[in-house]
Amino acid sequence: MAYQQYMQKERHRPPTNGFQCREDIEKEDHLTSVIFKCNLPHQQQHVVEFNCREPSCGALEGEEEGAVLSEDDYAVDPNFFDEGYSMAGSTGFKVWTGSRLLIEALTWPQDTDCDRLKEIQECVKNADGARIIELGAGVGVVGTYLAAVGSHVLLTDLTTLVENAIDTNLERNERILSNMSIDDDNDKPCPSWLVNGQRIGKGWADATPLDWTKPISEQLTDELASIDFIVASDVVFL
């Protein structure tokens, strides 16, 4: 019965008009990177960007332009022997389908959305800034995007991902969105629980390693006990 309901097209969320993603290739010091880009709601001129090691998987639709790498563009994983790193962790260096779907659901409202989803959509972009933790952030697409529309976000993942992907992508988007106009309601100082927070568009974001096999109390501050939402996408593989 549940499967039949899932397959009913009238229960599917319609395509999101105006939201576009694409990929470019960037070469620096003989290293090739894929730059995943997507525009912010109602602001085609403002785009967030993410440096990835590989093209995305299932995150582009229709005629959206994707990057194509040659065999020579792929490099040996330089973090293969990092402590706590794994083949599962290596999947975090690319963008997956769930990131796009979560961004669309949380930040691009539609008339057919249920009341609870509409409440969440309002919360993530209100002037007070929703307090959010992202698990398994990968290159940081979802958390960075939520910060850009007004939330306060702590992105977490393995140490290798934080140091080699999330931190650099937060810096990249802080710079890219530095000329974005901010309403007085959103022009507030960084929340104290984001220790090294960076201004990302209308909100703030920070990153820290989080090992799911260890007690959270040993890794995160007590202030995080009052967060509003925990978000995660493509963190479980069957």
Q: What is the pLDDT of residues 52-97, one digit of tens each?
A: 999 999 999 989 999 998 887 777 777 777 777 777 778 899 999 9
* pLDDT beyond 60 at 225: yes
Global confidence as pTM: 0.91
Q: Which residues contact residue 14 at a Cβ distance below 8 angstroms, ignoring those fewer than 6 apart?
A: 110, 112
First and final CA of the chain: distance in angstroms? 22
Q: What angle do CA 183, 208, 93 make, to 5 degrees?
A: 95
Q: With the C-alpha atoms ordered 105, 169, 211, 236, is the resulting torsion angle positive or negative?
A: positive
